[in-house]
Amino acid sequence: MIDTFLISTGVVAIAEIGDKTQLLALILAARFRRPLPIILGIFVATVLNHFAAGWIGQQVAGMISPLVLRWVIGLGFLAIAAWALVPDEMGEEEAQIKPYGAFVATTLAFFLAEIGDKTQVATVALALKYQPLWAVVAGTTVGMMIADVPAVFVGKWIAARMHILRYVRFVAAAVFALLGVLALLGVGS
């Protein structure tokens, strides 16, 4: 369980660096200037979204053979590695937040922004390979919080230095590529 939690935490924390939801945390922090409701909104949205993703991943895992599962996981991590190389951008229409309050706006915005996002895809892949589900979801949630909470508190500082995150994407891509190759080779099976 501890391994599942730690692996899930690390994978999502790395995947989240420079992601559009991290940019969303910056925008929300600048817009509302209320860190606690924003952090709570990120937490609630992540738990709900990643639980759904993890549950789907574990349902799929029970329907396919271990060999096929190994290839799905390996190729999935390689796809996430390639995806990590593509910088996320947020258009103006995505940045506009309705005045429902920091918590509600953050919860809704984060839940929707995570749909189909690389961290959600990573959660599905992790849930395919690791058990129990609660450890995967707890780990991916902690990984999101590790990456996004600092963005809330130091949003202005990070926004002024976003060019640095361009290089971090390459490290994240290398980590996912390594995970994909290790899965394809059957390491840890």
The 10s digit of each residue's pLDDT in 10-41 is 988 888 887 778 878 877 777 677 788 899 99
Percent of the chain with pLDDT over 70: 74
Flag whether pLDDT at 95 surpasses 50.
no
pLDDT (0 to 100) of residue 20: 76
Flag whether pLDDT at 1 surpasses 50.
yes
pTM exceeds 0.85: no
Q: What are phi and psi of 173, to 5 degrees?
A: -60, -40
The 10s digit of each residue's pLDDT in 103-137 is 888 888 888 888 878 888 888 888 888 889 999 99
80 falls in which pLDDT band (50, 70, 90)? low
The 10s digit of each residue's pLDDT in 141-163 is 999 999 999 988 876 565 455 56
CB 103 within 8 A of CB 54: no
Q: Which among 169, 144, 152, 166 is positioned nearest to 11, based on CA atoms?
A: 144
pLDDT (0 to 100) of residue 98: 47
Percent of the chain with pLDDT over 90: 18
3-state secondary structure 49-76: HHHHHHHHHHHHHCCCCHHHHHHHHHHH
188 falls in which pLDDT band (50, 70, 90)? low
**For residues 95 and 45, which has the higher predicted lDDT (pLDDT)?**
45
pLDDT (0 to 100) of residue 21: 83
pLDDT (0 to 100) of residue 9: 92
